[in-house]
């Protein structure tokens, strides 16, 4: 395409936005509101995914060995665990290590447990991590059947619920985002249809004198693109400002280990790029859907 032709398409596309007046403003407003909601859901989902990922990475299986098991039996259990293909890592924790860990977990109150150092009632243990967190339950059940294994601890009631919650949250968030995007595409499509209907006679004449479909389409594509891009500017500013405020004021105050807000940089730039691309896509796709049937002259 010649640069002069592109300039003509750009000029015509820009004029279309001005010609439509309030309908263009309404479309930009619809895209703005949609992208603010989409951006909010995307930010929440990405942060939720990061939190869930951290929790999943911390999921482990603690296998307690029977107190009467000798060194050979303990080693045999370890070899069987290593042979499980889903196991990523395994570490041995002696009963003395377990006692020290217990004392540390209670802080100053844990000093009372020091009385048990002479006659330690705890068990030796293997700490297991799986390659995929979702294999945790299956591996735990398999290890539970081994000889000399007294008990397997892996958060039996919490882990499956965690994975279910994450799946539901992703699906619901994705469905809402798709619904909002389709609504914005519908509004832009109707705005561009009004432009095309008002110029249907002109389009017919252009077709009769040999204008190609591509030549006719381009101004409307640019109109849709501009509507989408203009509608993405305010959401980017609003979400970047809001996220900066939340990150600056709350990230240092969260004391729960697995709850961590994604860093402002580069997350906000990535989020801004997503919003910009979605806005442009909404505008172009809305124009494509509008122009198609009007070119059948």
In this predicted model, what pLDDT tens digit does every residue of 97-153 receive, in sequence order? Answer: 877 776 666 566 556 555 556 666 778 888 888 888 778 888 888 888 888 888 888
Burial 196-228 (b: 16+ CB within 10 A, else e): beebeeebeeebeeeeeeeebbbbbbbbbbbbb
pLDDT at 244 over 70: yes
For residue 179, what are its two tokens? 């619904």
pLDDT score for 171:
80
Beta strands in the chain (DSSP E): 61-65, 87-93, 125-130, 149-153
Highest mean pLDDT among 11-25, 35-49, 159-173, 198-212: 35-49
Model confidence at 35, pLDDT cuts 50, 70, 90, reads confident
Q: How many CA atoms lie within 13 A of 33 on its CB side?
A: 11
Percent of the chain exceeding pLDDT 90 equals: 0
The distance of Cα 38 from the centroid of its chain, to the nearest Å, equals 12
Sort 231 into a burial class: Cβ within 10 Å, 0-12 / 13-18 / 19+: buried
Q: How far is the C-alpha of 297 from the C-alpha of 58, rounded, in Å?
A: 63
Lowest mean pLDDT among 37-41, 44-48, 108-112, 228-232: 108-112
pTM: 0.62
For residue 14, what are its two tokens? 């820009």
Coil, helix or strand at residue 86: coil
In the DSSP assignment, the letter for residue 131 is: S
Tell which residue, 148, 162, 134, has the closest CA to residue 67.
148
Instruction: State the DSSP H helix or E strand holding residue 172, giving kind and residue range, or none if neither.
Output: helix 159-198
Instruction: State the DSSP H helix or E strand holding residue 36, giving kind and residue range, or none if neither.
Output: helix 22-58
- Of 10 and 60, the structure prediction assigns the larger pLDDT to 60
For residues 26 and 191, the answer to whether their CB atoms sit within 8 Å is yes
For residues 49 and 167, the answer to whether their CB atoms sit within 8 Å is no
The distance of Cα 137 from the centroid of its chain, to the nearest Å, equals 25
């Amino acid at each position: 395409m010649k640069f002069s032709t592109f300039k003509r398409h750009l000029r015509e596309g820009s004029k279309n936005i001005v010609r439509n007046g309030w309908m263009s403003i309404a479309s930009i407003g619809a895209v703005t509101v949609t992208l603010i909601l989409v951006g909010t859901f995307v930010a929440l989902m990405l942060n939720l995914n990061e939190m869930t990922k951290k929790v999943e990475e911390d999921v482990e299986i603690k296998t307690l060995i029977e107190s009467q098991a000798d060194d050979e039996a303990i080693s045999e259990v370890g070899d069987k665990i290593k042979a499980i293909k889903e196991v990523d890592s395994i570490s041995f924790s002696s009963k003395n290590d377990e006692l020290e860990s217990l004392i540390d977990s209670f802080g100053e109150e844990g000093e009372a447990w020091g009385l048990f150092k002479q006659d330690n009632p705890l068990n030796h243990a293997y700490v297991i991590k799986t390659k995929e967190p979702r294999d945790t339950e299956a591996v735990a059940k398999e290890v539970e059947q081994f000889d000399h294994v007294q008990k397997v601890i892996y958060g039996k009631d919490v882990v499956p619920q965690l994975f279910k919650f994450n799946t539901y949250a992703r699906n619901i968030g994705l469905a809402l985002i798709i619904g909002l995007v389709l609504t914005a595409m519908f509004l832009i499509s109707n705005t561009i249809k009004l432009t095309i209907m008002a110029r249907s006679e002109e389009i017919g004449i252009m077709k009769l004198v040999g204008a190609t479909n591509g030549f006719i389409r381009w101004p409307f594509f640019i109109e849709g693109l501009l509507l989408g891009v203009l509608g993405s500017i305010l959401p980017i500013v609003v979400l970047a400002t809001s996220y900066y405020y939340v990150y600056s004021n709350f990230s240092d105050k969260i004391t729960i280990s697995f709850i961590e807000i994604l860093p402002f940089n580069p997350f906000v730039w990535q989020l801004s790029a997503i919003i910009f691309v979605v806005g442009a896509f909404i505008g172009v796709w809305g124009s494509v859907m509008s122009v198609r049937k009007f070119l059948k002259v």
